[in-house]
Amino acid sequence: MSDASVQAAWPVLDWPQWADTADTLHMLTQIVGKTRLALAPLQNHWWNVALYLSARGLSTSVMPSPRGGLLEIEFDFIAHQLVFRASSGEIEVLPLRAQSVAGFYSDYGKVLESLAGKIHINPMPVEVKDPIRFDEDTLHKSYDREAVWRFWRCLGHADELFKRFSGNFCGKISPVHFFWGSFDLAVTRFNGRRAPVRAGSDSIQAEAYSHECISAGFWPGNGGYGQAAFYCYAAPVPAGLAQSAIPAPGRFNADLGEFLLDYAAVCRSSAPDRMVLEFLANTYGAAARAAQWDRAALDR
């Protein structure tokens, strides 16, 4: 495959062009993600709440159903449907279309109850500025099918590279998973040491960051940054991390306290996979050195 064809495989993701759709999709993933939170057994660092990339979109993976058996809910970004599959053989489908979050939430609740019974989820979104209850949200109602498809293709590239990057680590490591609260795909490495309790942290943050970690991920531009980017950060932040030098176009963003590689730079590269993998390796190395990780024991 030529460099030109590789570059063409990385779709453009222009945040201003699809921000309204992304904000709406963020709320839809929160609704489905909160169902997973309600049904899946608790795992360390809240790994039980995440969604996973699938061959057609994003999936909850299988969850225990209150009525017995198993339930899976999948965003199909090819057919633009939300698909419910029960181990009883039942399948239900909701269209993904331009519709208010409130309308989707109502339709979703009816289908979910028909398959699994009444399941309570907190209707208030999390990790967003000025949240609106799902059942009252008529503001978010955009759905650009082409933009959503491009976003899923971006996640597909990131998922593959994060899994390749994960193969050289022997310590505790998360799956590559999609967090619907922050609307990003991430993979996290741990060194086995407990972390000091964060000042002012709530129960969610306390569990998420109970142990020292280095996390890498991809977000599409939400959270105020305004453009898609790969990122890497260490928690707690070790002294001297901000002064760590990594090759351009990666850089340390002092405002966010983490390393960034803009997705636009990846798209322009003649070797985008290599650029991302080098960014992941270089930022992990810088963070692990600053935090004095035992790399002889942890790295393959």
Beta carbons of 260 and 253 less than 8 angstroms apart: yes
Sequence ranges of the domains in the chain = 18-136, 145-298
Phi-psi region of 82 (alpha: psi -120 to 50; beta: other; left: phi over 0): beta
CA-to-CA distance for 23 and 62, rounded, in angstroms? 26
- Positive/negative CA dihedral, 266, 159, 274, 294: positive
The tokens describing 206, both together, are 């306390």
Q: What is the pLDDT along the chain (300 residues), one digit of tens a residue?
A: 344 443 447 999 999 999 999 999 999 999 999 999 999 999 999 999 999 999 999 999 999 999 999 999 999 999 999 999 999 999 999 999 999 999 999 999 999 999 999 999 999 999 999 999 999 999 999 999 999 999 999 999 999 999 999 999 999 999 999 999 999 999 999 999 999 988 878 888 889 999 999 999 999 999 889 999 999 999 999 999 999 999 999 999 999 999 999 999 999 999 999 999 999 999 999 999 999 999 999 998
Residues 6+ positions from 71 with CB-CB distance below 8 Å: 39, 60, 62, 63, 64, 65, 84, 85, 86, 87, 115, 116
Considering just the CA atoms, what is the radius of gyration of the chain in Å?
A: 19
Strand-pair category, 63-64 with 258-262: unpaired
Record the pTM.
0.95
